C-alpha cells in the first residue's frame, strides 16, 4: 500500500482557457495529463479533484462586489474539468483508481479558496484521508497564488505530520512572481516544492 494521494486543485476550463485563464494553465495541465498516464497507477492509491462550483451571483464576482470576473458557474462549460484531464481520470477510474471530487464556493455569500473551507466537502476530505491512512499527499493545480496556496496551508494545518509535496510543474499562477507558497513551504516542516519531471 502506497498511502499516497494526489490532490488536483481546480483544473477547470475557466482557469485554463476561459474567463480567468492563467498564462501557464494549459501547459501545466497538459504536463499533468502525461504524468498521470505514465505514473498514476504506480504512485497513487487515490486522486482528489477540487472544483469551484459557483452560483451565478457569487460574492467573488465583480458585479457583486468581488475582485474576479464570473468563473466556474455551475452548469456552464467553464465549470467543467479540462477535457484531456477528464478523459485520463475517467480511464483511471475504470481501472479501479478511487477518485474523490470535492466542490467549494457553492454558496453565494462565501468565498472558499480551499476545499477545507467548505463545511461539507472539507469534512468528507478529512475523513477520506484518515480512513485511507494517507501519509503522503502531492498537490498541484490552479492557481498557485490562490487556491493551491490556501489548500496546502489548510492541509498542513489539518494534517501536520503528513508529507506534503507541491508538484510545481503542474501548477500555474495568476501572478507568477507571487511568493506566498514558496515562503510557506520554506518555513514549515513536512511541506516542500518539488519538480516532478
Catalytic site includes residue 60 = yes
Average pLDDT over residues 64-86: 97
Q: Measure the CA dihedral 164/169/171/173, to 10°.
A: 120
Average pLDDT over residues 174-185: 94
Q: Would the pLDDT of 15 be above 60?
A: yes
Catalytic site includes residue 71 = yes
Q: What is the DSSP letter of 81?
A: B
For the chain, the average pLDDT equals: 96
Q: How many domains does the chain have?
A: 1
Report the candidate in 49, 37, 53 with the shortest Cα–Cα distance to residue 139. Answer: 49
Q: Would the pLDDT of 1 be above 70?
A: no
Q: Which residue is it, cell 501547459? A: 27
Catalytic site includes residue 111 = yes
At 148, which CATH number?
3.40.50.850
Cell of 113: 479558496
Q: Supply the range of the domain harboring residue 86.
A: 4-194
Q: Would the pLDDT of 196 be above 80?
A: no
Annotated catalytic residue, options 28, 147, 172, 185: 147
Report the candidate in 37, 6, 44, 30 with the shortest Cα–Cα distance to residue 165. Answer: 6
Cell of 164: 506534503
pLDDT at residue 18, as a whole number: 96
pLDDT at residue 197, as a whole number: 59
Catalytic site includes residue 10 = yes
3-state secondary structure of 193: strand
Catalytic site includes residue 27 = no
Annotated catalytic residue, options 46, 51, 60, 102: 60
Annotated catalytic residue, options 30, 111, 154, 169: 111
Q: Which residue is it, cell 518539488? A: 194
Predicted TM-score of the model (pTM): 0.96
pLDDT tens profile 115-138: 999 999 999 999 999 999 999 999
pLDDT tens profile 24-56: 999 999 999 999 999 999 999 999 999 999 999
Catalytic site includes residue 39 = no
pLDDT tens profile 94-110: 999 999 999 999 999 99
- What is the CB neighbour count within 10 angstroms for residue 95? 9
Amino acid at each position: 500500500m502506497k498511502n499516497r494521494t494526489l490532490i488536483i486543485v481546480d483544473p477547470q476550463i475557466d482557469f485554463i482557457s476561459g474567463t480567468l485563464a492563467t498564462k501557464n494553465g494549459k501547459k501545466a495541465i497538459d504536463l499533468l495529463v502525461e504524468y498521470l498516464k505514465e505514473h498514476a497507477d504506480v504512485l497513487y492509491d487515490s486522486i482528489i479533484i477540487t472544483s469551484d462550483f459557483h452560483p451565478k451571483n457569487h460574492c467573488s464576482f465583480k458585479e457583486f462586489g468581488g475582485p474576479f470576473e464570473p468563473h466556474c458557474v455551475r452548469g456552464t462549460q467553464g465549470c467543467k474539468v479540462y477535457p484531456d484531464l477528464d478523459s485520463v481520470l475517467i480511464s483511471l477510474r475504470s481501472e479501479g483508481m478511487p477518485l474523490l471530487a470535492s466542490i467549494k464556493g457553492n454558496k453565494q455569500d462565501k468565498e472558499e479558496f480551499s476545499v477545507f473551507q467548505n463545511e461539507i466537502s472539507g469534512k468528507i476530505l478529512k475523513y477520506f484521508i484518515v480512513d485511507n491512512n494517507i501519509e503522503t499527499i502531492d498537490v498541484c493545480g490552479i492557481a498557485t497564488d490562490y487556491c493551491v496556496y490556501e489548500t496546502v496551508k489548510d492541509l498542513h494545518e489539518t494534517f501536520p505530520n503528513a508529507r506534503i509535496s507541491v508538484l510545481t510543474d503542474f501548477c500555474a499562477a495568476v501572478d507568477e512572481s507571487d511568493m506566498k507558497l514558496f515562503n510557506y513551504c520554506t518555513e514549515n516542516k513536512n511541506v516542500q516544492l518539488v519538480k516532478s519531471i
